[in-house]
Amino acid sequence: MAVTLKNKVELDLMRRAGRIVGECHLLLREAVRPGVTTAQLNRLVHEYIVKQGGVPSFLGYPGPTPYPAATCISVNDEIVHGIPGPRILHEGDIVSIDIGAIWQGYHGDSAWSYPVGRVKPAAQALLDVTEQTLYHALEFARAGGRLSDISHAIQSYAEARGYGVVRKYISHGVGRSLHEDPQIRNYGEPGKGLRLQPGMTFAIEPMITQGHYESRELADNWTVVTLDGSLAAHFEHTIAITESGGPEILTRQD
Ligand code: MF3
Ligand code: CO
């Protein structure tokens, strides 16, 4: 599949999809608290997407079994693709919540990691560095640059601070499909691959660990955890490459 460039009309639809996802994260900022279950958080997001006239992207996503929820909710050593359920969040946990919404056929995709109540300084540092890694990488999402400049920015920023960069899961093109070309590694040498052009739309999603980057999948065939049991965080924005320089963040939270 080729990399598609989105026109103005398509970008407007993606802005709308992205806004719905961003607003879900605004709700979660308040809703993530000790005592809440991951199923309750999922329901909040699912109902909000539907109320806005959108469709949850992840529900039914093909896999070993169709993905069963509107969100992926991954706690502590879980990196991505955690399935919401009866698990109760406790003070000191960290939780990554990944959300996709479709508006008139176009997707917005954004993950954010949250502290549950008060967390240890090391857990907060992981959250801070992962968020900063995302924003650092976005500085390289500009027309004229190369795809792997983004990859390199992620790896170099996080590793220089002593963190692991998960290798097995990647950033990606997004638009009419949740996952489009190009596939974007979160690590690698700069200056390689596709030249970035206005109208390209990507979901940039560093997954960062406190320890080693190696991951494994649980027996539910979805949940991915760190092999060494260390904490993981995940921040993701859907962005568009613009004419005028920096990326436009389509999943902003304001
Ligand atoms: N943001 C994740 C990704 O791009 C969410 C998709 S997982 C799904 O891979 F299976 F639930 F859809
Ligand atoms: Co994604």
Nearest CA, atom 2, ligand 1: 98
**How many whole angstroms from 188 Cα to the centroid of ligand 1?**
22
Span 45-73, average pLDDT: 98
Ligand nearest to the CA of 204: 2
In angstroms, the CA 215 to CA 212 distance is 8
Mean pLDDT over 240-248 rounds to 93
pLDDT at residue 118, rounded to an integer:
98
Pocket test of ligand 1: the residue of 21, 45, 72 to mutate, having most ligand atoms within 8 Å of its CB, is: 72
Token digits of residue 220:
């539910």
Residues with CB under 6 A from ligand 1: 58, 61, 63, 67, 72, 81, 98, 109, 111, 172, 203, 205, 236
Dump pLDDT digits (tens) for 163-206.
999 999 999 999 999 999 999 999 999 999 999 999 999 999 99
Instruction: Give the span between the Cα atoms of 117 and 17, in whole angstroms.
Output: 29
pLDDT-derived band at 135 (thresholds 50, 70, 90) equals very high
pLDDT at 235: 99
Residue 193 CA to ligand 1 center (angstroms) comes to 24
Ligand nearest to the CA of 239: 2
Nearest ligand, CA 111: 1
Residue 245's pLDDT is 80
End-to-end CA distance of the chain: 33
Q: How far apart are CA 64 and CA 240, in angstroms?
A: 31
C-alpha span between 12 and 118 (Å, rounded): 38
CA distance 150 to 144: 12
Residues within 5 Å of ion ligand 2, judged at the Cβ atom: 109, 203, 205
Q: How far is the CA of 203 from the centre of ligand 2 (A)?
A: 5
Average pLDDT, stretch 9-20? 98
C-alpha 98 to ligand 1 mean position (Å): 7
Percent of the chain with pLDDT over 70: 100
Nearest CA to ligand 1 atom 5: 98
CA distance 137 to 186: 9
Mean pLDDT of all residues in 113-138: 99
For every residue of 56-80, DSSP letters joined together read ESSTT--SSS---SSEEEEETTEEE
The two structure tokens encoding residue 39: 């199923």
Nearest CA to ligand 1 atom 8: 58
Q: Is the pLDDT of residue 1 over 80?
A: no
Kindly report, residue by residue over 76-96, the tens digit of the pLDDT.
999 999 999 999 999 999 999
Question: What per-residue confidence (pLDDT) applies to 9?
Answer: 98
For residue 246, what pLDDT is reported? 87
Residue nearest (by alpha carbon) to ligand 1 atom 11:
58
pTM across the whole model: 0.98
Q: What is the mean pLDDT of the chain?
A: 98
User: The domain 8-249: what is its CATH number?
Assistant: 3.90.230.10
pLDDT of residue 129: 99
Please tell me the number of the ligand nearest to residue 63's CA.
1
Helix pair 121-138, 147-160: axis angle to 10 deg: 160
Residue to mutate (ligand 1; options 38, 45, 109; most atoms within 8 A of CB) = 109
